[in-house]
Amino acid sequence: MARHRNLSLSFFTTATRVCGVDEAGRGPLAGPVYAAAVILDPDRQIRGLRDSKQLAPDKREVLALRIRERALAWSIASASVEEIDTINILQASLLAMRRAVDGLSMVPEHVLVDGNQLPRWHHTCEAVVQGDTKVAAISAASILAKTARDALMRALHEEHPQYGFDQHAGYATPQHLASLVLHGASPIHRRTFAPVRAAIEARIEGRPVVFDSSPAWSDDPLP
């Protein structure tokens, strides 16, 4: 059963196995999309949980360690670049979320998912708009997904140093767009995302790259 509404933490005070779910890396031009699922222990509180984007990198790493140590259960999963380009970024994000929840060491009583979209699964669940700022378990999931993906992108930088993945984690920064023009797309770039597609087409046709102002990605899969 799925319901969509904004919720406060107090709504779930009677539940002991509430799972928070969030994704990281939906917007970048390269790399997989990650998701995490966390069931917090009400007897082992973690101070400072909030949306991962609001935290300094060193603070995120400290909190990620505490979440792993104190949570009743946690799981991190991903969907590959190939899956993103095949089924679209939205469906790939939902797939990563399903994998994260399936990877938990215990079955949650209730699942809270950040945003307004829900995966298809058998769990009782709710979508919580801006949930990473409202629900501690979703904040925790946001932190785990973000730190795990950032670590992967730093590792991928070693394989593809010309793109600067250690600086922008694959997002469409001016540095990243410039490297796409200079070097073309790498094997880990998302070919259905507009700037990557533009760079590939321009290189094939032997013309300058023109990046337009349309959204970087589409929710349509490859034809």
Q: What would the mean pLDDT of 183-187 be, rounded to a whole number? A: 95
Q: Which amino acid would we find at residue 5? A: R
- Is the pTM above the cut of 0.75? yes
Q: Band of the pLDDT at 216, cuts 50, 70, 90? A: low
Helices 136-159/57-70 angle, 10° precision: 120
Alpha helices in the chain (DSSP H): 57-70, 81-87, 89-102, 136-159, 165-168, 174-183, 194-205
Checking if the pLDDT of 96 tops 50, the result is yes
pLDDT of 219 > 60? The answer is no
Question: Does the pLDDT value for residue 223 go beyond 70?
Answer: no
CA dist 185 and 133 (Å) reads 35
Closest CA to 46 of 67, 76, 62: 67
How far apart, in whole angstroms, are the C-alpha atoms of residue 55 and residue 60?
Answer: 6
What's the alpha-carbon Rg for the chain, to the nearest Å?
18
User: Does position 11 have pLDDT exceeding 80, yes or no?
Assistant: no
